[in-house]
Structure 1
Amino acid sequence: MHKWEGIEAFVSVAQHQSFSKAAQELGVSRSHISKQIAQLESRLDAQLLLRTTRSVSLTEVGQAFFLRCQDILNTLDEAEQAVIDLQERPRGNLRLSVAGAFGEDFIAPAAAAFMAENPGLAVELDFSNRVVDLITEGYDLAIRAGTLKDSSLIARRICNRRLVTCASPKYLKRYGTPESVSALVNHNCLVGTLSTWRFKEGSRHFDLKVSGDWHSNNGRALVHAAIADLGIVQLPDFYASVAIESGQLVPILEQFLPTDTGVWAVYPHNRHLSAKVRLFVSFLAERFGS
């Protein structure tokens, strides 16, 4: 076992770029992590990490060693998970990346329900708008919406993502309801992350550049502005569904709705998919399939 000493600590520090976070992940002290890595570097007669008072980074040798060690630990995890999977019970730590209102309102309650059904499971739910690297950052899966770009990942559609265009009844009464997409140029459009909105006419999809005096990269902020009669908004239906059901917002231009995209559970292409990931993705697909 002498050759294994310090490997897990080194990989954790490399992934988190932090001794403190690695110590927290492994449930040991920071000094213990530091001692293990110092002994590992001494045994290898090579410097693996560059340390400053503010950061930790890999040396060239450390990077090469990290990639090999990460592969080895992943293989060990797969072997351990294979034994667990024989019992068909998800166990261990399920680490997933989510973002936005869909993560808050739907994925978080679903993850809590799944954990309640599986007492041997721990869940780590990380909210970030950043597209994380699942493999190098140690995530089991991520929930992503829209068109996927990373073809190296496996993706399973868990539900549809529908865009809606809507405004408050008071705004429409004051300024009129647009009957065509082109009529939006005469309205105040509440602009989100993108300055273009998506529409469909016949079989043709197209983007329309919009403008207005309210800009926000937060979907809830856009909904609040629309409810306050400031203008027209386009965003995924899960942001606006409650306001639409209550009558605070009214869907418009429904004949020009673009084709639904999807919300996806994405995970690395491993030879052996763990029970915790496989069963959780199936749980989400069943929960949100309708």
Structure 2
Amino acid sequence: MNHLEAIATFVEVVNCGSFSQAAERLSVSKSHVSRQISQLENHLDALLLNRTTRKVSLTDVGQSFYPTCREMLTSLREAEQAIIEQQHTVRGLLTVSVAGQFGEDYVVPATLKFMAKYPQVTVNLDFSNRLVDLVAEGYDLAIRAGRLKDSSLIARRIASRKLYICASPAYLEQHGQPEDLTQLRPHNCLVGTLNTWRFLDRGQHLDLRVEGNWRSNNGRALVLAALSGLGLVQLPSFYLEKHIQAGELVKVLEPYYPTDTGTWAVYPSNRHMSHKVRLFINFLAEEFTQLALPNPASGN
């Protein structure tokens, strides 16, 4: 027996004064209502209702039991309604993991606009290059870039991302400009977080190991090294666009730029997405579309 269903049926019978009307209100058969009441009475070993051909009335035991049941169901419905309203009211703490220049230049301004629209939201933006454990560390979501490998996360693409390979005119004048991937090996490659760069070659994406005498997990540090003429760099386009426009950096190997990367909002698959998280992700995606970003990303 489902005790909650039986109690709810009992309260409805009392409210309606009839098994038939209660069955109609509950959208079940009269026999189902009768069976629920009988099972509840058997469980309690007490008669709750007096049954006649004309009406149903409470016994003495039923009269003492009914108010408690009615109040319990009212409290339960109020609690359910509170949860529903909470899920559809944009308020509370939003904890977001983000990294890099994309976070500083785009996520921060967009988040401030979101908070202006929803002033009851409190935001904690945590900047870190490490791969956080969203579940264990209590994050609502993370903004991540590139190709996602963690299948335990649900992801939504919120912005495009394109990787450029660039070098300064001075470096290219001294060392030559690579025309294909076979000419990449002699060059000094400024290495970021990974030891590999991503390419598209004859319709297939591949990762090639690169080497150089400069490594940093900071995109700006890599840009400065490239501007100084130290070597080639592969970075998301938004790091490099203004320097390309200024003639300070030159794109190389353009036919080999990968097309399978993006910027994502990710959240745990075992956690129901709250209304504020869903709204925030939608807001970011809309903001980045309106900004017409130059294929941004959240980091190197």
Letter in 2 for 1:84: Q
SS of structure 1 residue aligned to 2:198 = strand
Larger gyration radius, structure 1 or structure 2: 2
Q: Partner of 1:183 in structure 2? A: 183
Letter in 2 for 1:157: R
- Cα distance in 2 for residues equivalent to 1:172 and 1:273: 49
When the two structures are superposed, what TM-score results if normalisation uses the length of structure 2?
0.65
For structure 2, list consecutive stretches of 5 or more residues without a partner in the other structure.
1-78, 293-300
- Please state how far the C-alpha of 1:272 moved relative to its aligned partner: 4.5
Q: Partner of 1:263 in structure 2? A: 263
Q: Partner of 2:54 in structure 1? A: none
Q: Partner of 1:151 in structure 2? A: 151
- Please state how far the C-alpha of 1:226 moved relative to its aligned partner: 0.3
- Please state how far the C-alpha of 1:174 moved relative to its aligned partner: 2.4
How many residues are aligned here? 212
Do the aligned partners of 2:167 and 2:227 also contact (CA within 8 Å) in 1? yes
- Please state how far the C-alpha of 1:81 moved relative to its aligned partner: 5.2
- Cα distance in 2 for residues equivalent to 1:232 and 1:128: 25
- Cα distance in 2 for residues equivalent to 1:245 and 1:78: 57
- Please state how far the C-alpha of 1:208 moved relative to its aligned partner: 2.2
For structure 1, list consecutive stretches of 5 or more residues without a partner in the other structure.
1-76
Q: Partner of 1:90 in structure 2? A: 90
- Cα distance in 2 for residues equivalent to 1:217 and 1:78: 47
Do the aligned partners of 2:147 and 2:260 also contact (CA within 8 Å) in 1? no
SS of structure 2 residue aligned to 1:286 = helix
- Please state how far the C-alpha of 1:126 moved relative to its aligned partner: 0.6
Letter in 2 for 1:129: N
- Cα distance in 2 for residues equivalent to 1:83 and 1:99: 33
Q: Partner of 2:170 in structure 1? A: 170
Deviations 1:163-199 (A, max 9, x none): 1100112221222211111112222211222222121
* RMSD, aligned CA: 2.1
When the two structures are superposed, what TM-score results if normalisation uses the length of structure 1?
0.67
Do the aligned partners of 2:155 and 2:264 also contact (CA within 8 Å) in 1? yes
Q: Matches of residues 58-77 of structure 1 in structure 2 within 5 Å?
A: none
- Cα distance in 2 for residues equivalent to 1:85 and 1:233: 45
Q: Matches of residues 1-290 of structure 1 in structure 2 within 5 Å?
A: 80=82, 82-86=84-88, 89-269=89-269, 272-289=272-289, 290=292
Letter in 2 for 1:278: R
**Seq. identity, %:** 60
Q: Partner of 2:16 in structure 1? A: none
- Please state how far the C-alpha of 1:243 moved relative to its aligned partner: 1.9
- Cα distance in 2 for residues equivalent to 1:265 and 1:79: 29
CA 1:166 to 1:81, structure 2 compared with 1: closer, same or farther past 3 Å? farther
- Cα distance in 1 for residues equivalent to 2:135 and 2:117: 27
SS of structure 1 residue aligned to 2:207 = strand
| Runs of 4+ more than 6 Å apart | none
- Cα distance in 2 for residues equivalent to 1:222 and 1:248: 14
SS of structure 2 residue aligned to 1:212 = coil
CA 1:172 to 1:118, structure 2 compared with 1: closer, same or farther past 3 Å? same
Do the aligned partners of 2:146 and 2:263 also contact (CA within 8 Å) in 1? yes
Letter in 1 for 2:218: N
- Cα distance in 2 for residues equivalent to 1:81 and 1:127: 31
Letter in 2 for 1:196: T
- Please state how far the C-alpha of 1:225 moved relative to its aligned partner: 0.3
- Please state how far the C-alpha of 1:85 moved relative to its aligned partner: 4.1
CA 1:137 to 1:245, structure 2 compared with 1: closer, same or farther past 3 Å? same
CA 1:106 to 1:79, structure 2 compared with 1: closer, same or farther past 3 Å? farther
Q: Partner of 2:53 in structure 1? A: none
